[in-house]
Amino acid sequence: MYHVSSWDAISNPGRKPLRKPVDRPLVILCCRKPESPNPLNQMQSFRFVDLFAGLGGFHLALDRLGGECVFAAEWKEHLREIYNVNFGLYPAGDITSVSLKDIPDHDVLTAGFPCQPFSKAGEQLGFECTEQGNLFFNVAAILAEKKPKYFILENVPNLLKHDEGRTWKEIQAILGTGEDGLGYHIAAEKLSPHNFGIPQIRERVYIVGSLIPLEDFSWPKKTDAPTSIDTVLDDHPADAKKLSTQVIECLEVWDKFLKLCPENVEPPWFPLWSMEWGASYPFEDTTPYALKQLSGMDGLKGFKGSHGCKIGKLRTIEERWAALPSHARTATLKFPKWKKDFIRLNRQFYADNKEWIEPWLPEVLKFPSSLQKFEWNVKGGVRNIWDYVLQFRASGVRVKRRNTAPSLIAMTDTQVPIIGWQRRYMTPHECARLQSLHTLKKLPDSQTQAFKALGNAVNSIVVESVARALIQSVTIIESHSNHDVGAEKA
C-alpha cells in the first residue's frame, strides 16, 4: 500500500517546495533518472497499464495499436466488473492500496487522473483536494518505480491554468528532465473529438512523456471537416427516454421567448439570467455578502432581488438572502469580472426589451432557478427551439446547432443531451459513439450509471491518434540511432 501527497518531500527534501506540502503520509521512493531506457522491440507487442480505467477508453485505443494491457485500476466496483466483461481483465481497486511491486513492468502508462479538483465547474482545490487531487502523485510514484518508456495523461484544459499556472509547472518539474525530475521529455496539447471528425466538442488536455527526446514528435493533425450529430443517432431507438411534461413545458416557454423577441433584436450571445431582470442589488463595487457583513441584511433593504422582488418587504434575514439570485449569494467581497459583465449585460438587455419581456416573465417563474437561465448558441439560426440539440445544465437551458453534441460530462439523467426534433433524450449507446466506445460489448445497465461513466471517459479515437503519433515518433528516432526496433502497425 502506498499513499503519496507531496513530491518535493520525496524527490529532494532540500529544495524549496513549489507549494506548501500537505500534511499526509508519504512514502520514500527512488526518483533517479534511468540511464538507458529499454526501447520497445516491436510496436505490436508493447505492454501498457490503464490507471483510473473507467470504461476502458485508453485500453480500447492502445489495443488497436497492438498493445497488451498488463494492469488496470478502477475504484468503482461496477465499472471493474464491466471492464472485465469487455476486456477479460479485472482491474485492481483503489490505486493507493496497490503495492508498487504488484504492478507489472510496462512500456506505456496511461491515466485520466481525476479532473474534478482542476475543473472550472468545481471548487478547483487541485492538489489540495484530499480525496482526488493528490492522486497525480500516485501516478508519479509508479513512473518513478517502473520507468515506462512513455506515458499519456488526460485531464481538463483548466489543469494548465489552475492556480495561476503553478500546478502545471509543478507537474512539469516532477515529470520532466530537470534536476529533480523523472527524466521525461514532455509535451501537452488541447484536443477535442470534433478535431477528429466526431460530432462532440469536448476539449481535454493530453500530456505525453517519453524517455527519448520528442524531436520528431508532432501532435496528430486536426481536421476542420464539418460534423453532424446525425452520424451518431439511431433511428427511433427503443430505449430512448421521452421528455417529461415539465421538460416540454419549460422548453415551450423558452421557445415562446424566442418567438416574442422582435426580428430586429438578436437573442444575446451571453447567458440569459432571467433572475437579473428587475433586480437592482449592487454588484459593481461591492456584493450583497459585503453589505451583509457591514450592516446585516438592512444594507439591502432598498434594493430588489430576483425578478424585481423587493428585499425590504421580507421579514427574516433568511428570506431576504434567499430573494437574491444564487450567483449573487457567494461569500465574496467583490465579484469576478466575468460575473459582473454578465449581470450588467442581462440588466441592460432587460431595460432595452422590457416591453415584451415583462408579460412573458411570469411564465418562467414556475421552474427551478437553473431552468430560468438560457444559453442560445445558435446565432442567426431559425428561432425554433425544437430544431436543435438541447441540454439542461446548472448554467441553464442550452441550445446548440446540430453539428455537434454538447460536451459529455459526468451527467445526471436530466443533463443528457436532448434531440429536439425527435423530442427525446440521447441513448447511452449514442453517447458511447460520441466517445468512440460504441464497440464495447457492455455498458452499465443503469442509464444513470452509463451516462456518468461516459461523461468521465476518454475518447478512444483521440487517444489512439495521440498514442500512434507518440510511439511512431520515438521509433523513428531509435531507428536513426540504430536501435533494434520493429515495424510500425500499418
What pLDDT is attached to residue 316?
A: 87
What pLDDT is attached to residue 29?
A: 35
What pLDDT is attached to residue 474?
A: 66
pLDDT block averages, 10 residues each, the chain of length 490: 49 42 35 42 76 97 96 96 98 92 96 63 44 77 96 92 86 92 96 96 95 94 93 93 95 98 95 98 95 81 94 90 95 96 98 98 95 96 97 92 86 84 96 96 94 94 97 62 39
CATH entry, 8-224+442-480, from 3.40.1400.10, 3.30.930.10, 3.40.50.880, 3.40.50.150 = 3.40.50.150
What pLDDT is attached to residue 44?
A: 57
What pLDDT is attached to residue 118?
A: 45
What pLDDT is attached to residue 165?
A: 87
Give yes or no: 69 in active site.
no
What pLDDT is attached to residue 411?
A: 63
438: which DSSP letter? T
**What is the rounded CA–CA span in Å between residue 149 and residue 159?**
24
> Which residues lie across from 272 on neighbouring strands?
374
What pLDDT is attached to residue 125?
A: 45
**What is the rounded CA–CA span in Å between residue 478 and residue 490?**
18
Per-residue cell: 274: 432571467
254: which residues sit within 8 A by CB, 6+ positions away?
A: 364, 374, 385, 397
Angle in degrees, CA 173, 174, 176, rounded to 5:
65
> Which residues lie across from 56 on neighbouring strands?
none
What pLDDT is attached to residue 115?
A: 53
pLDDT digits (tens, 9 = 90+) for 395-452: 899 999 999 998 887 667 778 999 999 999 999 999 999 999 999 999 999 999 999 9
What pLDDT is attached to residue 470?
A: 95
Q: Which of 69, 115, 261, 431 is catalytic?
A: 115
**What is the rounded CA–CA span in Å between residue 19 and residue 188?**
22
CB atoms within 10 A of CB 379: 10
Taking the domains of the chain in order of start, what are their residue ranges? Answer: 8-224+442-480, 245-426
What pLDDT is attached to residue 382?
A: 96
